[in-house]
C-alpha cells in the first residue's frame, strides 16, 4: 500500500524531472522549481551556488539521493561577453585582400635537382609592377601601376565626361567620394547636373581606350547616410557595378586599411585631375607623394571645420615643389605600399576637397579617413559573407 508521503514524492519527481529508474539518465534532465525557474538535474556538489540560498528548503530535489534541480547562476557582466568578442580575428577585408591578390600569382612547376630529383611547385608573382613606396614630385603613372584606379563617367544627352576618380575594392564594388554622385556644369549661367552612369577600369589615359580598358554600367550608387554636402562630412560612397570584374595582373582591387595612420605618414595620390595651372584635366594618370599634416594645423587652415575622426589632411610642405590633388581627382585613392603583398596598395584616404586653386603652399587637401568607415564598407560589400 502506498503511503501519502511516498505518493507526494512520486508526484514531485515526475513533475519536476524526467522520470527514470536510473540516476545516470536522470542527471541532466530538465526541471522547473517552485519559482518557475528552468534548470537541470545535478548532484549537490555540481551546483554549489545553490547551497548559498538562505532557506535550503527552497531547493527542489529531483530525488532523495542528492540530485537537485540546479538553476544556472546569474551571469556576471564579465562572463556575459562571448569568447569570440575577446579574440581579435582577421577582418573580412583583410581576408579578401589576400584572396584577391592571388589573381596576380600562378603556380610554376620547377624541375628537381640531382640531389632532390622530385619536381616541386612554387608560386610565381605575375604583377606588371612593383608597388611604389614614394615618388618625388608629380609624375605620370606607368601602365598597370595602379590596377585598381577607376574613372567615373557622367552623361547629359550625348555628352559624356570622365570626371571623378575611384578605386576597385572587390569584383563588384568601387569606392569613391559621396559628392561625386552628381557633377554640376555651368552652362549659359545655369548649373546643369550630369548624372553618373558608368565606371572605367584598366586605363592610363583619360580619353583613349584599348582592349585592356573595361567600361561597366553602374547598378547602384550608395551614399553614406551621414554625408553632408556642405561640410563634406562622411564624404564616402560605394558604387555597385552591373556585373563582376574579372581579376588579372592588369586589373585587381586595392586593399583596405586595418589601422589608423599617424601624422607624418607619406602616401601616394593618383588621379587625372588638373596639373599645375592648366584648366583641363590631365590626359595621363598622375601620381604624387604627399605627407600627412597634423590635425591642429589642418583645422586652423580650414577654420575649425575638420573632423578629426573622419578626415585626414595631406599635402607637401616643400616650398619649392608644392604638390596637391586637384579638381578631377575627387573620389580617387590615397594609398600606401602594402607591407606584405608586393603587387598591392592599401587605400587610407579618398580625395574629398581642398583649396579651389590647388597647389597652394601650406594648404593641404582633405581626404576621407577610410579606416573610420571600414565597418560600413564591409557590411555592404561583403554582406553575404
pLDDT single digits (tens) 360-383: 667 899 999 999 999 999 999 999
Grid cell in block for residue 65: 539521493
- Burial (Cβ within 10 Å: 0-12, 13-18, ≥19) of residue 107: exposed
Grid cell in block for residue 327: 579638381
Nearest alpha carbon to residue 354 among 326, 385, 320 = 326
Q: Which member of 93, 167, 179, 183 is catalytic? A: 179
- Residue 352 annotated in active site: no
Q: Which member of 148, 167, 170, 235 is catalytic? A: 235
371 vs 41: CA distance, rounded Å: 50
243 vs 220: CA distance, rounded Å: 11
| Residue-level pLDDT at 32 | 82
Q: Which member of 170, 330, 344, 352 is catalytic? A: 330
Q: Which residues of the chain have pLDDT under 70?
A: 1-25, 45, 48-59, 64-65, 74-88, 105-126, 128-137, 185-186, 263, 274-279, 317-328, 356-361
CB 127 within 8 A of CB 249: yes
Residue-wise pLDDT for 295-343, tens only, equals 999 999 999 999 999 999 998 765 444 455 555 589 999 999 988 887 7
| Residue-level pLDDT at 34 | 76
φ and ψ at residue 163, rounded to 5 degrees: -120, -75
| Residue-level pLDDT at 65 | 65
At a CB cut-off of 8 Å and minimum separation 6, what does 312 contact? 261, 292, 348, 349, 366, 367, 368, 369
Nearest alpha carbon to residue 267 among 340, 346, 363, 378 = 346
Task: Identify the three-state secondary structure at position 44.
Answer: helix
Domains and CATH numbers, the chain: 9-69 (no CATH), 139-380 (2.40.10.10)
The count of C-alpha atoms lying within 13 angstroms of the C-alpha of 345, restricted to the half-sphere facing its C-beta, is: 31
203 vs 141: CA distance, rounded Å: 11
Which runs of E-coded beta strand occur in 48-170?
Answer: 67-70, 105-110, 120-125, 139-140, 149-156, 159-170
Q: What is the CA radius of gyration of the chain?
A: 32
φ and ψ at residue 74, rounded to 5 degrees: -55, 135
φ and ψ at residue 210, rounded to 5 degrees: -145, -170
| Residue-level pLDDT at 357 | 55
Grid cell in block for residue 296: 591642429
- Residue 235 annotated in active site: yes
At a CB cut-off of 8 Å and minimum separation 6, what does 229 contact? 178, 179
What residues pair up with 380 in beta bridges, in sequence order? none
The count of C-alpha atoms lying within 13 angstroms of the C-alpha of 352, restricted to the half-sphere facing its C-beta, is: 29
| H helices present in the chain, as ranges | 4-16, 23-26, 83-86, 92-101, 295-301, 374-381
364 vs 322: CA distance, rounded Å: 10
- Residue 179 annotated in active site: yes
159 vs 82: CA distance, rounded Å: 56
| Residue-level pLDDT at 285 | 93
At a CB cut-off of 8 Å and minimum separation 6, what does 301 contact? 313, 362, 363, 364
| Residue-level pLDDT at 123 | 54
Which 8-state DSSP code applies to residue 28? T
| Residue-level pLDDT at 41 | 84
Amino acid at each position: 500500500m502506498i503511503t501519502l508521503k511516498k505518493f507526494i514524492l512520486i508526484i514531485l519527481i515526475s513533475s519536476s524531472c524526467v522520470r527514470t529508474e536510473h540516476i545516470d539518465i536522470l542527471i541532466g534532465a530538465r526541471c522547473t522549481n517552485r519559482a518557475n525557474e528552468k534548470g537541470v538535474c545535478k548532484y549537490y556538489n555540481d551546483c554549489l551556488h545553490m547551497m548559498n540560498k538562505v532557506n535550503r528548503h527552497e531547493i527542489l530535489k529531483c530525488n532523495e539521493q542528492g540530485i537537485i534541480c540546479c538553476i544556472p547562476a546569474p551571469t556576471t557582466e564579465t562572463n556575459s561577453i562571448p569568447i569570440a568578442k575577446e579574440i581579435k580575428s582577421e577582418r573580412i577585408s583583410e581576408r579578401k585582400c589576400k584572396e584577391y591578390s592571388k589573381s596576380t600569382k600562378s603556380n610554376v612547376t620547377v624541375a628537381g635537382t640531382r640531389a632532390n630529383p622530385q619536381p616541386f611547385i612554387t608560386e610565381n608573382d605575375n604583377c606588371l609592377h612593383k608597388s611604389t613606396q614614394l615618388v618625388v614630385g608629380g609624375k605620370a603613372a606607368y601602365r598597370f601601376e595602379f590596377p585598381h584606379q577607376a574613372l567615373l563617367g557622367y552623361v547629359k544627352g550625348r555628352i559624356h565626361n570622365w570626371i571623378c576618380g575611384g578605386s576597385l575594392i572587390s569584383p563588384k564594388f568601387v569606392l569613391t567620394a559621396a559628392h561625386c554622385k552628381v557633377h554640376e556644369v555651368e552652362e549659359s549661367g545655369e548649373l546643369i547636373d550630369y548624372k553618373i552612369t558608368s565606371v572605367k577600369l584598366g586605363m592610363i589615359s583619360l580619353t583613349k581606350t584599348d582592349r585592356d580598358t573595361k567600361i561597366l554600367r553602374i547598378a547602384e550608387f550608395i551614399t553614406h547616410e551621414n554625408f553632408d554636402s556642405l561640410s563634406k562630412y562622411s564624404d564616402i560612397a560605394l558604387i555597385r557595378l552591373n556585373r563582376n570584374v574579372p581579376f588579372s595582373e592588369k586589373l585587381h582591387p586595392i586593399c583596405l586599411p586595418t589601422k589608423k595612420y599617424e601624422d607624418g605618414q607619406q602616401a601616394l595620390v593618383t588621379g587625372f585631375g588638373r596639373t599645375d595651372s592648366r584648366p583641363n584635366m590631365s590626359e595621363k594618370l598622375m601620381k604624387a607623394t604627399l605627407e600627412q599634416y597634423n590635425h591642429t594645423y589642418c583645422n586652423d587652415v580650414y577654420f575649425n571645420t575638420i573632423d578629426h575622426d573622419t578626415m585626414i589632411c595631406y599635402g607637401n610642405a616643400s616650398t619649392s615643389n608644392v604638390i596637391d590633388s586637384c579638381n578631377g581627382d575627387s573620389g580617387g585613392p590615397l594609398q600606401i605600399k602594402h607591407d606584405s603583398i608586393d603587387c598591392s596598395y592599401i587605400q587610407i584616404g579618398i580625395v574629398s576637397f581642398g583649396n579651389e586653386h590647388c597647389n597652394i603652399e601650406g594648404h593641404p587637401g582633405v581626404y576621407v579617413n577610410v579606416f573610420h568607415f571600414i565597418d560600413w564598407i564591409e557590411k555592404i560589400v561583403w554582406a553575404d559573407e
